[in-house]
Amino acid sequence: MSEQLTPSERLYAIVEQGLCIGCGLCQSLAGRERVWVTKTLNGFLAPVVVGDLDHETVDRIYAVCPGTRVEGLPERLIEPDTHADNVWGPWRRMVRAWASNPEVRFEGSTGGVMTALGAYLLKSKRVDFILQVKASSSEPTFGEPTLSFSEADVFEAAGSRYGPAAPLLDLDAALERNQPFAFFAKPCDVAALRNFAKQDERVDRLVKYCVVMVCGGYGTPRGTDAFFKRVGIDPDSVTGLRYRGRGCPGPTRVETPTGSHEYHYIDYWGEDETTWTLPFRCKICPDGIGEAADIAAADSWIGGGPNRVDSVDDPGTNVLVARTLAGEELLAAAAADGALTLEFDIPPDTLSLYQPHQVSKKYAAWSRHQGLRDAGRLAPATARLRIEELAADLPEATNRLQREGTRERVDSGKASEPMPQIWKPAGADDES
């Protein structure tokens, strides 16, 4: 490919073929003077080439980008007595849990377990800071990377962020601090970090814990704007957005100059996954369950989502999946010190009842990737995710349907994005 395309064209191919998630790692790797991950005209975060870019740097980006490579837990972290499940991957413990502090449980998404774990890691001095995402100070629907140094910082970042976010935008600056830290993010972000660890020894030395939320995908800017319009709000008037939390799932709260407006979580996403507006990359995701993390936190609604009645008084309960010895030990220590309440252990089959859409997506991933290759597109290289084995368990007709359906998406343009161009409000000067 390097003989046919320029370095810029190669980088843009990831974006234009719908595989970029806007994690920000390419900027951290290449340097802001060459690649700038910023809001683009289609509303997403994406890399824009702003300086001289060479093929060697793009080769390094292709090796770490979660749009082009997704791997499961590194083999060195899989102990001999670790359980293995074809869908859910390596695990040492699966347990229903919630934040013991009622305020944290209420404020955080579902049961507040990630907020509780973050606060515990800092309070116990296991890490010096946490690299995570909080609500953007400039783009109400976006998240922005932040370093949390105190329990108060972690609490400020509580609640889901369903919009674009680039947690790895300034990874190099975090590593330059030469302090132990934890990384709280989406599964694809952790996959990117694990990829980068093969190029930079500081990652394994300094990142002590990777904690993820089990992820069904994030909301597209177009989908979020459509929600605002459905409820009669001008998207340009929005000054703040809290997607969920303050209950389970809690209200979607929109701030405008006229006041606060609250809606049900279902009003944002729709009644079921058929109405979700997701980036194409999320639709072909081979790992929404966080196989590369030490701990993954999942919602625990039977059937995969809340309903309008039962969720009103739901105090919130998560499932925590500890995949590594470090993750298992952290759960036990956090529970012993009163940060987490561990209710009871569950088997993988029960987790599948809570997360049926993750099961479906995992089984479909290999055929969807084959559809991309049939269309001459890039497809994520995978390892230790068992997606080909899972596909082999499906009827041939089902795999064919997934494969051909993906090819049709490509042919119809539904798997494509325009070449990224920097979005600027009217009258703004170029920042690049």
Question: Angle at which helices 7-16 and 55-64 pack, to 10 degrees?
Answer: 30
Residues 6+ away with beta carbon under 8 Å from 333: 120, 124
What distance in Å separates the CA atoms of residue 362 and residue 353, rounded to the nearest whole number? 14
What is the token pair recorded at 423?
């979005």
Residues 6+ away with beta carbon under 8 Å from 349: none
| Cα atoms in the 13 Å half-sphere on the side-chain side of 168 | 33
Quick one: which of 102, 110, 97, 156 has its CA closest to 132? 156
Between the alpha carbon of residue 307 and those of residues 85, 268, 302, the distances in Å are: 29, 13, 10
Q: What single string gives the DSSP state of each residue in 127-175?
A: -SEEEEEEE-SS-TT-EEEEEE-SHHHHHHT-S---S---TTTTHHHHH
Contact 286, 385 (CB under 8 A): yes
The dihedral sign for the CA sequence 279, 283, 285, 288: positive
Residues 6+ away with beta carbon under 8 Å from 329: none
Quick one: which of 303, 304, 302, 299 has its CA closest to 321? 299
What distance in Å separates the CA atoms of residue 242 and residue 161, rounded to the nearest whole number? 8
Quick one: which of 197, 360, 337 has its CA closest to 272? 360
What distance in Å separates the CA atoms of residue 13 and residue 349, rounded to the nearest whole number? 39
Residues 6+ away with beta carbon under 8 Å from 310: none
| Helix or strand (DSSP H, E) at 283 | helix 280-283
What distance in Å separates the CA atoms of residue 287 and residue 187, rounded to the nearest whole number? 7
Phi first, then psi, for residue 389 (nearest 5°) are -60, -45
Per-residue confidence (pLDDT) for residue 274, from 0 to 100 = 66
Q: DSSP state, 40? A: B
What is the token pair recorded at 410?
């490509």
CB atoms within 10 A of CB 28: 24
What distance in Å separates the CA atoms of residue 315 and residue 217, rounded to the nearest whole number? 24
Q: Is 179 helix (H, G, I), strand (E, B) or coil?
A: coil
Per-residue confidence (pLDDT) for residue 431, from 0 to 100 = 47
What is the token pair recorded at 286?
């081979």
Per-residue confidence (pLDDT) for residue 2, from 0 to 100 = 47
CA angle, 60 then 296 then 275, to 5°: 85
Per-residue confidence (pLDDT) for residue 159, from 0 to 100 = 86
What distance in Å separates the CA atoms of residue 95 and residue 252, rounded to the nearest whole number? 27
Quick one: which of 145, 151, 87 has its CA closest to 117? 151
Print pLDDT tens along the chain (432 aa). 445 899 999 999 999 999 999 999 999 999 999 999 999 999 999 999 999 999 999 999 999 999 999 999 999 999 999 999 999 999 999 999 999 999 999 999 899 999 999 999 999 999 999 999 999 989 999 999 999 999 999 999 998 889 999 999 999 999 999 999 999 999 999 999 999 999 999 999 999 999 999 999 998 999 999 999 999 999 999 999 999 999 899 999 999 999 999 999 889 887 766 677 899 999 999 999 999 999 999 999 999 888 887 666 789 999 999 999 999 999 999 999 999 999 999 999 999 999 999 999 999 999 999 999 999 999 999 999 999 999 999 999 999 999 999 999 999 999 999 999 999 775 555 544
Phi first, then psi, for residue 327 (nearest 5°) are -65, -40
